Amino acid sequence: MRAHHIDRPADLDTVRESYDRVADDYAHMVLTTGVGDVRAHPWLKAAIDAFADTVGGLGPVLDVGCGPGTVTAYLAERGLDVSGVDLSPRMIENARRLHPGCRFGVASATDLDLAEASLGGVLGWWSLFNLPRDVLPQVLALFARALKPGGHLVIATHVGDGDVVRTEAYGGVPVRWTTHRWRPERLVDLVERAGLRPVAELRLPADERSGPGVVLTARRPG
pLDDT tens-digit profile of 20-71?
999 999 999 999 988 889 999 999 999 999 999 999 999 999 999 999 999 9
Residue 2 reports pLDDT greater than 60: no
Q: What is the mean pLDDT of the chain?
A: 95
* Alpha-carbon span 141 to 136, nearest angstrom: 9
CA dist 86 → 102, 103, 148 (Å): 14, 12, 22
Which pTM was predicted?
A: 0.96
Strands 173-180 and 119-125: unpaired
Residue 3 reports pLDDT greater than 70: no
Residue 171 reports pLDDT greater than 90: no
Residue 203 reports pLDDT greater than 60: yes
Higher pLDDT, 36 or 74: 74
CB 121 within 8 A of CB 61: yes
* Alpha-carbon span 64 to 71, nearest angstrom: 11
Which segment of 13-17, 168-172, 179-183, 215-219 scores lowest on mean pLDDT? 168-172
Residue 188 reports pLDDT greater than 50: yes
* Alpha-carbon span 120 to 219, nearest angstrom: 10
pLDDT in tens, 118-168: 999 999 999 999 999 999 999 999 999 999 999 999 999 999 999 999 999
Q: In the sheet that 103-106 helps form, which strands lie side by side, from edge to edge?
A: 103-106, 82-86, 61-64, 119-125, 147-158, 213-219, 197-204
pLDDT in tens, 91-103: 999 999 999 999 9
pLDDT of 50: 98
CATH class of 12-219: alpha beta
Average pLDDT, integer, range 89-114: 98
* Alpha-carbon span 63 to 67, nearest angstrom: 9
